[in-house]
């Protein structure tokens, strides 16, 4: 038992090096960290880099002319748990614009390269690459997160996506 405790202690120290000890202690006290693997997950994501980029995105003045049915690269960021993260230095991934609320605010659903046969995934190819639209991860975002337009989906495909979303919310 002593050897296992020492292994966990060493792993804990390795994972928390350079991190805010007050933050870690507060999470431990609240029971938010129960296993050493959770510490690894917490510190393996570059939250600091995303926060720095997000501050920069907030400062820019963008005037993107976006529309429903369009696919854009979007800085979705680094997120928690199973929420879809962005990739690359801008923490981006393709998203489909589902609804334009205003010139500054919209509803999107992210794409993934994973294909699954379940109602929360809508299989779709983008520029010849197979993948899925994550219907369960719709979210509202600022236009400041959009970077560049990829394509516009044909109306029949978009209508089928909307029907699939409606099926997720039975009345």
Number of domains in the chain: 2
- Over 50: is that where the pLDDT of 155 sits? yes
Q: What is the pLDDT of residues 73-91, one digit of tens each?
A: 888 776 656 656 667 666 6
Say whether both 36 and 70 belong to one domain.
no
- What is the pLDDT, as a whole number, of residue 153? 96
CB 46 within 8 A of CB 19: no
Say whether both 68 and 35 belong to one domain.
no
- State pTM to two decimals: 0.69
Question: Of 50, 140, 159, whose CA–CA distance to 95 is shortest?
Answer: 140
- State the DSSP code for 112: E
Between these two residues, 60 and 38, which has the higher pLDDT value? 60
Say whether both 71 and 138 belong to one domain.
yes
Say whether both 38 and 86 belong to one domain.
no
> Would you place residue 4 in the very low, low, confident or very high pLDDT band (cuts 50, 70, 90)?
very low
- Over 80: is that where the pLDDT of 66 sits? yes
């Amino acid at each position: 038992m002593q050897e296992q405790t020492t292994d966990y202690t060493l792993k804990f120290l390795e994972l928390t090096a350079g991190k805010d000890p007050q933050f870690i202690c507060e999470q431990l006290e609240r029971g938010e960290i129960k296993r050493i693997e959770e510490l690894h997950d917490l510190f393996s994501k570059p939250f600091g880099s995303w926060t720095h980029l997000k501050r920069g995105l907030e400062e820019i003045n963008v005037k993107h002319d976006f529309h429903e049915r369009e696919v854009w690269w979007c800085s979705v960021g680094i997120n928690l748990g199973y929420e879809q993260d962005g990739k690359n230095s801008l923490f981006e991934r393709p998203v489909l614009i589902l609804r334009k609320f205003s010139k500054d605010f919209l509803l999107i659903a992210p794409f993934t390269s994973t294909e699954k046969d379940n109602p929360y995934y809508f299989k779709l190819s983008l520029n010849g690459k197979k993948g899925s639209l994550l219907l369960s991860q719709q979210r509202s975002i600022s236009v400041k997160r959009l970077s560049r337009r990829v394509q516009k989906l044909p109306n029949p495909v978009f209508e089928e996506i909307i029907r699939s979303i409606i099926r997720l919310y039975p009345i």
